[in-house]
Amino acid sequence: MDAQQMEVKAVFLDRDGTIIKDVNYLSKIEDIEILPYVKEGLELLNKCGYKLIVVSNQSGVGRGYFTKDFVYETHAVLNYMLEGLIEKFYFCPHTPEDNCLCRKPKTGMIDEAVKRFRINKKLSYVVGDKESDVELGINAGITPILVTTGYGSDIKEKTKAEAVFNNLYEVAKWICQKGSTE
């Protein structure tokens, strides 16, 4: 692997409560609602050279609430709304009882992305609104950041996250500033 390939950096993003409103098992396309400052945040991260990769637990599939195809359709619509800013959407369709290797805070989805895009984990971040997202980062060896959208405000006092911000644009400013001084 040459030096240039090692420079690939990414921000791994939770979906529900981080990019879109968490409506508790989204099962209708018309319920997709992008949260405030998300588009601005993603644009800034993109400009700073980060690949944007969504990693989402969608146990609603395993529970029979909606199909995998619905999740694919959701992601196509969402990325259209976001003008293609997301490089790749990964999701875990399993329930906790399935004991799979991809359900967050397990690292299966990140491991796959790291291999596929040759991502340098030291230069990358995980962003989400739950402690399981923070634990995902810790388990993967990637700096975790909590946003207080979604469920984040409930746990901001006790999180193990490296930093806590009110929205994705604040996250993006911090990451870009940090990245530029490294």
Question: In whole angstroms, how close is the CB of 57 to Zn ion at the nearest point?
Answer: 8
> For this structure, is 16 an active site residue?
yes
Three-state SS for 125? strand
DSSP percent split of the chain into helix, strand, coil, nearest 5: 40, 20, 40
Q: Which of 10, 11, 13, 16 binds Mg ion (CB under 5 A)?
A: 16
Piece of 43-51, 90-98, 128-136, 158-166 that binds Zn ion (CB under 5 A): 90-98
Cβ(168)–Cβ(42) under 8 Å? Answer: yes
Burial 33-69 (b: 16+ CB within 10 A, else e): eebebbbebbbbbbebebbbbbbbbbbbbbeeebeee
Q: Which of 11, 12, 17, 161 binds Mg ion (CB under 5 A)?
A: 17
Tokens representing 133 are 């997202």
Contact flags string 98-137 toward Zn ion, x per CB under 5 A: --x-xx----------------------------------
By CB under 5 A, residue 92 contacts Zn ion: yes
Question: In whole angstroms, how close is the CB of 23 to Mg ion at the nearest point?
Answer: 11
Active site residue: 2, 14, 31, 129, which one? 14
How many whole angstroms separate alpha carbon 169 and alpha carbon 149? Answer: 12
Question: In whole angstroms, how close is the CB of 14 to Zn ion at the nearest point?
Answer: 15
Q: Please give the positions annotated as active site.
A: 14, 16
